[in-house]
Amino acid sequence: MSRIIDTGLKELSATLYRMGELAHRAVLKALIECIEGREAHKEVREMADTLLAMADHIEDKAFELIARFQPVASDLRTIKSYMKIAYDFARFGRYALDISSINKQIGGLRNCEEWINSYVKEMSEKTSEMVRLSIESLKSHNTQIAEKISEKEKEVDRMYFEFLDELIKCGATTKCAVSSVLIVRYLERIADHAAYICESIIYIATGQKEVLR
């Protein structure tokens, strides 16, 4: 039998999914901007601002559901997790804006050594796949999809530290060193938040708190 609160939970889920899609686009646009030397800062900022507004809306709606419908334990678990996921998506937007700002202020990677561009591009692709998996697991509440992210997160972490080691050895120019280190650090943080989202999905579905990092 359908409950009134179920409609509210479905609305929260639908808003979160739209938020995830927007966050993914923001990250991709910022990365393409930096790697290919394009100009998209204004658009990325607008998307980041929209994501913050959507996160606030989800938080307000979540508190409204709690106040009006006195949700049971499983509902509270879902509401709490949705609020955390909204924050994670908002962080995607913030990191996308940070990456875009590197292009605007320092010049991104347009004049960097080829190996730096190739490495950052590969790490970007892996991180983007993690974002996609986190959105897919949210849409279906599929714990098997969520669990796939663990190994990918470890791979991104490994690439992050390997890049730092390689950068020290090669002696890249100052602008390239600063730009690339910041970008790979933001990618590593985006990967972490994608893992947090999948941890929340597992918690919603099973009630178990798992660490996928």
- pLDDT tens sequence across 179-211: 999 999 999 999 999 999 999 999 999 999 988
Compute the distance between CA of residue 45 and CA of residue 75 in angstroms, rounded to an integer.
Answer: 34
Q: Is the pLDDT of residue 103 over 90?
A: no
Position 140 in a domain: yes
CA atoms within 13 A on the CB side of 35: 21
Position 162 in a domain: yes
Position 212 in a domain: no
Q: Which CATH number characterizes residue 24's domain?
A: 1.20.58.220
Position 115 in a domain: yes
Which domain, by its residues, includes 29?
A: 4-206
Percent of the chain, pLDDT > 70?
Answer: 99
DSSP label at residue 173: -
Position 211 in a domain: no
Count up the domains in the chain and report the number. Answer: 1
Task: Please give the angle made by the CA atoms of 59, 86 and 95, to the nearest 5 degrees.
Answer: 130
Compute the distance between CA of residue 89 and CA of residue 48 in angstroms, rounded to an integer.
Answer: 10
Compute the distance between CA of residue 126 and CA of residue 159 in angstroms, rounded to an integer.
Answer: 10
pTM: 0.93
Position 114 in a domain: yes
Position 129 in a domain: yes
Q: What is the pLDDT of residue 1?
A: 58
Position 213 in a domain: no
Question: Please, which residues have CB within 8 angstroms of residue 46's CB and are 6 or more apart in sequence?
Answer: none
pLDDT tens digits for range 41-98: 999 999 999 999 999 999 999 999 999 998 899 999 999 999 999 999 999 999 999 9
